[in-house]
Amino acid sequence: MHEQLELMLDLDIIDAHHHLCDFSQSYPWLEGPAEPFRYHGDDRPLRRSYLLNDYLADAQGFKLAGCVHIENGAADPLWEAGWVQGVHDSHGLPSAQVAKASLSDPAALPHLEKLAAVPTVRGVRDILNWHPDPRYTHTARPDLLNDRAWLNGFSHLAPLGLSFDLQVFPDQLEQAARLAADHPETLIILDHAGMPIQRDPESLRHWRKGMSGMAAQPNVVTKISALGTNDHSWTATSIRPIVLETIDAFGPNRTMFGSNFPVDSLYSSFAALYTAFDDITGSMSVHERRELFAETARRTYRLAPDATTGNPERNGAAAPI
C-alpha cells in the first residue's frame, strides 16, 4: 500500500470514475466466496458500505470540483440510480452518474427511459469485458458487440440523450472502434484506458493499436483509471507509459482522470494516485492539465460550471469532442 502523501494537486479535479455502495442492498459481485480471487485481487475490504462521507475522506486535501458516480453492480440498477440521485439532492455530489443497463435485454428500452428521467443520469454502462480466463471475464459471451439484440438496445441511447461507458479488454478494441464508427451520434467513453491487462511488449503493442483505432473515432473519449487493477504494486514509473501514451493518442481534450475508488483503494491511497497523475503530467501546459483533471470530464458528463452544487442542466447527447 502506498503511503499517504502530503503534497496535494493545486488544480481543480473532477473525478470521472468512482463508486459508492450501500451494503444494505445486494451487490452480487461482492457476495459469495471471495476466493479464488479475480484479477482485481482480494475484494474483502470492499464488502461494506462506502458512502459519500467515506469517499470525501479519501479525497480530502484535493480541490474536488465534482465527481461522476459509475454504477457499482447493484442487483437493482433502478434503485441504485435513484439512491445516487438522492445523495446528490442532499449533498450536491456526485455531480452526475452513469447507470447500469443490460442492452441485450428485451425490456432495455423502458429501462433506459426510466434512467433517462433521473436528472443526474448522463449515460449507461453495460460491462462487456470478455476473456477466456474465468478470472478475468465479466460476461459469458464474446460476441455482444456484434449481437443484434444488444445493438438494438444500444441504438436507443442517442435518442434518449444518453452516452455509453464502454469497458472492454484490448482484444475487443477493434470491435469497439467499429461500434463507434457505426454509431457516430452516440458519445462513447472508453473506461480504464482500454484496460491493458498484460504489460509485456507484444501485449502493449496490441493495446496501442487498439487505442489508436478508438482515438480515430471522433465520438470517443477515454478516461485513465483503474490502472491498479492490473498492476497491484504500481508506481508512478510503472504507469507512466500507459498514462502518457493514452494522452498522446486521444489528446488532453478527450482524456480525463478517474480514481476508481473504492476499488483502487486496494492498491493505493487517493492522494498517492492523484499525486502520480500530477507528477506524470507535470511538464504539460496548465491548459492541458486543466483539461485532463477537470474540463474534459465537465464537458463529457455535462456538468454545470459549479459542478458540486445544484442539478446540472440536461442538454441531450454531448457533442463529440
- We report the CATH number of the domain holding residue 155 as 3.20.20.140
Residue 165 lies in a domain: yes
Q: Among candidates 169, 77, 182, 74, which has minimal Cα distance to 123? A: 77
Is 313 part of a structural domain of the chain? no
Average pLDDT, the chain: 92
The string of pLDDT tens digits covering residues 265-286 is: 999 999 999 999 999 999 999 9
Contacts of 99 (CB under 8 A, 6+ apart): 71, 77, 80, 81, 115, 118, 121, 123, 124, 125
Question: What value does the mean pLDDT take over residues 60-70?
Answer: 97
Is 321 a member of any domain?
A: no
Range of the domain at 28: 12-300
Of the two residues 137 and 253, the one the predictor is more confident about is: 253
Indicate if the pLDDT at residue 4 is higher than 60: no
pLDDT score of 6 more than 80: no
User: Which of these, 204, 206, 247, lies nearest to 224 by C-alpha position?
Assistant: 247
Backbone angles phi, psi at 16, to 5 degrees: -85, 0
Task: Please report whether residue 63 resides in a domain.
Answer: yes
pLDDT tens, residue by residue, 127-158: 999 999 988 989 988 889 999 999 999 999 99
Q: Which residue has the higher pLDDT, 82 or 317?
A: 82
Q: For residue 139, is it within any domain?
A: yes
Cell numbers that stand for 141 in this block: 459471451
Tell whether 306 is covered by a domain: no
pLDDT confidence bin for 52, thresholds 50/70/90:
very high
The Cα-based distances of 102 to 108, 204, 245, 251, 299 in angstroms read 7, 30, 31, 31, 25
Are 297 and 315 in contact by the 8 Å Cβ rule? The answer is no
Q: Is the pLDDT of residue 91 over 80?
A: yes
pLDDT for the residue 230? 86
Grid cell in block for residue 143: 460476441
* β-bridge partners, 121: 97
138, part of any domain: yes
In a domain, 310, yes or no: no
Split into its structural domains, the chain has a count of 1
